[in-house]
């Protein structure tokens, strides 16, 4: 069974992707790290900058 953190991380990831704050292709690799708390400041920044870059490129 998924842990509460995993369940919550999935909901968060879905919202972040819907609002184009995360790229869909980054979901998988970051989901577990958000769930287990291993995501660092620089990871957050990079993920959102990549999403910004992609959005800007459209």
The C-alpha atoms of residue 13 and residue 10 are separated, in whole angstroms, by 5
User: Rule CB under 8 A: is residue 4 a binding residue for another protein?
Assistant: yes
The C-alpha atoms of residue 51 and residue 57 are separated, in whole angstroms, by 10
| Residue 56: strand, helix, or coil | helix
User: Rule CB under 8 A: is residue 58 a binding residue for another protein?
Assistant: no
Largest distance between two CA atoms of the chain: 39
Q: Which of residues 28-57 bind another protein (CB under 8 A)?
A: 33-41, 43-45, 48-49, 51-52
Minimum distance of another protein from residue 58's CB (angstroms): 15
Positions touching another protein (CB under 8 A) are 1, 3-5, 7-9, 11-12, 15-16, 19, 21, 33-41, 43-45, 48-49, 51-52
């Amino acid at each position: 069974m998924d842990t509460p953190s995993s369940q919550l991380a999935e909901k968060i990831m879905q919202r972040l992707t819907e609002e184009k704050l995360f790229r869909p292709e980054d979901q998988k690799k970051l989901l577990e790290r958000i769930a287990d708390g291993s995501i660092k400041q620089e990871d957050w920044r990079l993920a959102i900058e990549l999403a910004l870059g992609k959005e800007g490129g459209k």
